[in-house]
Structure 1
Amino acid sequence: MVPGPTIHDHIRDHLDPSGHGLLPGGAQLPDTPATGIRWASGERESRPVLGSFGAGPDAEQLTGLVAGALVDDAGYAALYDALTEGSADPGLVGDLPREPVHELGRRLVTGARHRGPVRFGLGLLDRSDTDLLLMIGRHEEFTAAAAGTIAATHDDAEAALVRLADAVDGWGRIAVVERFERGAGPAVREWLLRGGYRNSVVDSYLAHRAAVVGDLAAVLSGRVDPAMLAAACEIVRAMVDAAPAAGLDEYDDAPRALSRLLDRLEDVPGTLEHLATLARLDEYLSDGGWRARYAEQWTIALHEAVVRRVRDLLARPDWRDLVRAGLADPATFHQAYQSARAVDVDTFPALLAHVRAGGDDWPLLMAAATPERLPRILALAQAVDLPERDLDTVVTALRGFPGQGTPLVLSSLDSPVARNRTMAVRTLTGWGPAAWAAEIQAALRRAIAVEPDAGLREVMEQLLTP
């Protein structure tokens, strides 16, 4: 055994008092290697295709190791070492005395300094260990294992699973929510539809499950409060943007849910949340996938009816003022920006002002560049001290504007950051010598003289070769 804190104590000491997640430093477990590939906590358990934990003992070997661990410390050490070196399924343990095995599970969960033994130990716990399961499950490395034990050992597991899922927000939440199926109780359905689908990976992973398990179409058939309506809009948008998960096309109740959502939106004053949803639906309803959809849950008549209703809602005259007000507020800028095109609002003046005020959106600004707009963008870029990343963004985009922004390209060429220099060389290559200002050749010669990267230096030299 190695010295240092147990994983149990590490998690306990980093519990966020809010009841959600861990305090800073909590995510990195004591056994985290200093180098090598690091997976997001819980990612490999939630998506096994991304990687495995390594081969562990088979059923016969595992039963023997567990039996030995019940006898003495040497046996415990042998099991511990095997669990540290590879994964093992607690369900493979043969017929051994239940209570000693349960105590072994508690010993592993509370005393181990490596994640493999803790993960295995969680599978040996039972419903008497709910608080321990919920605590260890607060670290997303162990959420899926804790959820598996809760589901297997609790007569009514839903309440504990909701508590567990609500305490995490990444792959762990995804692993728990994917256990909920149609027929779940009202508390699960309500939690899912009011935000349980939200996660720090991508909401699309859970939006379809929230709609199905929460019976979104039925909920939207009656009156809903503003918070539920906003959440329903989020769920629908996440299902439209479904990849890599099931989405609106896989949602059998999509026509009914969208029709009921439009009923609700027609009854209330519009918000940016509503507009963003209508804008995405308009794109979805106009895309090229409808031949396949007509063979599934949609009919041509129903499709055309939903299109008309969406476009009637988008024609409301008050959207433009709502978008302009949203663009002026940093808190709502991005939502307003994403919806502006649907109601023909020119976003460039607001985007320029937003970036000038410190908004971290140079990629958006450069994507909006045209020959007419570029002088104003360049004036701003040259008036501020661009961070390396933003300088990269600007110089890369300038490749499409030969001869424009030469001072920024030269600044990038002189940067201590290799990527900046590389982007400058690529832009100069794209321009071609005919578009170069007089000072570029001299700047390239100076850069060649000090460039430490042989490959990049060779490319620079080729640029100066007639």
Structure 2
Amino acid sequence: MPSIHDHITGHLDPSGRGLLPGGDELPDAQIDHRRGGGLIPWSDGTALTHHPADVTTDLPALVAAAVTGGDHEPLYTALCEREVLAELDEVLAGVRALDLAGPVHDLGRRLATESEHRAPVKFGIALLGLGSDSGDVEVLLRLGRHEEFTLFAFAAVEATQADPEPALLALADGVEGWGRIGVVERLGDQTGPRLREWLLRGGFRNTVQDGYLAHRAATVGGLVPALSVPEVDDELLDAAADILCALIEGGPAEDIDDYADAPIALSLLVGHLTRRAHGLRHFVATARVDEFLAGPDWDRRYAAGWDLTRHDTLVRGCRDLMAEPRWRDLTLADLDSTDDRTFHDACYAAAVLGIDRFPATMRRVRTDATPADWAGLLAQATEERLPDILDIASDVLPLADLGTGPDDIAGIGARWTDHAVLDVVVTALREFPGQGVEFVLTSLRCPVVRNRVMAVRTLTGWGPESWQPDVQSALRSAVAAEPDPTVRESMAQLLTH
């Protein structure tokens, strides 16, 4: 088995961001505490015999034994078995007191680059953070490309580099999910200009949800100063629109009402859009701002610093821009786009402008559609449209394969998107009693518990009077096979009605 470092190195995406397919799945395995022994190898093949009963609790002493006597086995075993990371600061303080900086650094590098288990790798990174060897940066950046290790690499870079900004920028830009979120959340008011510029112009975007970092981008990134110029470039204009729309949408972190400069920032954004909006994403941004301005809670906002004059001026600016006739043609053109962002922007614009987007959405789901595409289609479902929607769903979804029973989860990873689409369809069918029964019964037999829960909810919403004859027997079979006691009880309750 390769070391974790070698595994990540072999999967570095040449683009400089993220990992190639297969890179996220680390090669280590959980240690089986139920067995009396086992092997915990270094990547060079040295076998370290695992004896749980002999593990000491004094990690600094284990580090000292490793670097002075060469006895690595107890340390490696302890790192794999204990929740070392929960007490890391205390342990590192004890390691510093050993006054063995050089040997400790060498141990840290070996743990970071040769270990086959993630906990020793993390501890090795932490030991590298006690020194200042410039040669460690490349190792830290490589390991940091896997989001399991990004924050450990961040702490080590920040602690050891006289000018950490270039490495921190490379680290943050090299990941796109929770690793990026964690790095950006740790950027403070002393963040350097390159990181601020990166954050403002797109570093806030991530694969989880932009709302996690939008407030940091607006504040740490300096959104208002950046917009307080006569002209801005397209990259900054698009980023500013995305930041403010994410704040308006709200969600997991600070939202628009937590951003003290929101009135100024929105005024500046709408001013720039009024002068130079040219793409449909600019219309969408304007419409989202308008939706916010027309929403509730304005008495509270006036009390918190907004003023009525600015509010009214913004509303007029948005409405005037949205009334321009060019947006209709752009929307119709972009409804045929195969690009996800462009198509979804066009769908939003179509809803605002009163354009029927149903034909375009139907065309899209016939190909490689996402669960979000299906949700958008079913949001437009009517009694007349539903049969056509279900015909396409029958062609797209392998119903016979999806309903394999609660105990058969083989291959579920490869079919996860299909299960998500089935979930969307069954959820929407609650509004159409008695229709699409084959989808509901398939969902009732699925290995994914959420599918079964949604089937029960839809059948509950329909009521027994809308059930076809085979629903009762399918429910009885589902109750007998259901492994989850809560779901089983809800199924059984349906049979009593």
Structure 2-normalised TM-score?
A: 0.77
Matching of residue 174 in structure 1 with residue 184 in structure 2: no
Equivalent position SS for 2:96: coil
Q: Is the deviation greater in 425-434 or in 145-154? A: 425-434
Q: Distance between the aligned counterparts of 1:265 and 1:232, measured in 2?
A: 11
Cα-to-partner distance string for 1:105-154 (whole Å, 9 max, x where unaligned): 21221222222222122122224211111111111111111111111111
Residue 172 of structure 2: which of 165, 168, 180 is its match? 165
The total of aligned residue pairs comes to: 433
Residue 359 of structure 2: which of 338, 349, 356 is its match? 349
Letter paired with 2:60: T
Cα-to-partner distance string for 1:12-54 (whole Å, 9 max, x where unaligned): 222222222222222122224399xxxxxxxxxxxxxxxxxxx
- In structure 1, the partner of 2:10 is 13
Q: Is the deviation greater in 318-327 or in 85-94? A: 85-94
Q: Is the deviation greater in 450-459 or in 385-394? A: 450-459
Matching of residue 138 in structure 1 with residue 145 in structure 2: yes
Q: 1:345 to 1:10 in 2, by over 3 A?
A: same
Q: Is the deviation greater in 419-428 or in 109-118? A: 419-428
Q: 1:450 to 1:79 in 2, by over 3 A?
A: closer
Q: 1:81 to 1:410 in 2, by over 3 A?
A: closer
RMSD over aligned CA atoms reads 3.3
Q: Distance between the aligned counterparts of 2:496 and 2:173, measured in 1?
A: 62
- In structure 1, the partner of 2:433 is 402
Letter paired with 2:108: G
Matches within 5 A, 1:403-418: 403=434, 405=435, 408-410=436-438, 412-413=440-441, 417=446
Q: Is the deviation greater in 346-355 or in 324-333? A: 346-355
Task: Quote how far apart the aligned CAs of 1:167 are.
Answer: 1.1
Residue 63 of structure 1: which of 56, 60, 65 is its match? 60
Task: Quote how far apart the aligned CAs of 1:6 are.
Answer: 1.9
Matches within 5 A, 1:176-195: 176-195=183-202
- In structure 2, the partner of 1:365 is 377
CA contact (8 A) 2:475 2:495 kept: no
Residue 124 of structure 1: which of 123, 127, 135 is its match? 127
Q: Is the deviation greater in 10-19 or in 377-386? A: 377-386
Q: Distance between the aligned counterparts of 1:391 and 1:354, measured in 2?
A: 17
Structure 1-normalised TM-score?
A: 0.82
- In structure 1, the partner of 2:24 is 27
Q: 1:411 to 1:243 in 2, by over 3 A?
A: closer
Q: 1:304 to 1:83 in 2, by over 3 A?
A: same
Residue 108 of structure 1: which of 106, 111, 123 is its match? 111
Q: 1:66 to 1:233 in 2, by over 3 A?
A: same
Matching of residue 78 in structure 1 with residue 74 in structure 2: yes
Task: Quote how far apart the aligned CAs of 1:291 are.
Answer: 3.2
Q: Distance between the aligned counterparts of 1:213 and 1:57, measured in 2?
A: 45
Residue 223 of structure 2: which of 206, 213, 216 is its match? 216
Equivalent position SS for 2:127: coil
Equivalent position SS for 1:293: helix
Letter paired with 1:189: R
CA contact (8 A) 1:392 1:412 kept: no
Q: Distance between the aligned counterparts of 1:311 and 1:273, measured in 2?
A: 16
Task: Quote how far apart the aligned CAs of 1:202 are.
Answer: 1.4
Equivalent position SS for 1:120: helix
- In structure 1, the partner of 2:233 is 225
- In structure 1, the partner of 2:268 is 260
Matching of residue 312 in structure 1 with residue 314 in structure 2: no
Point out where structure 2 has 5 or more consecutive residues left out of the alignment.
Answer: 33-54, 403-418
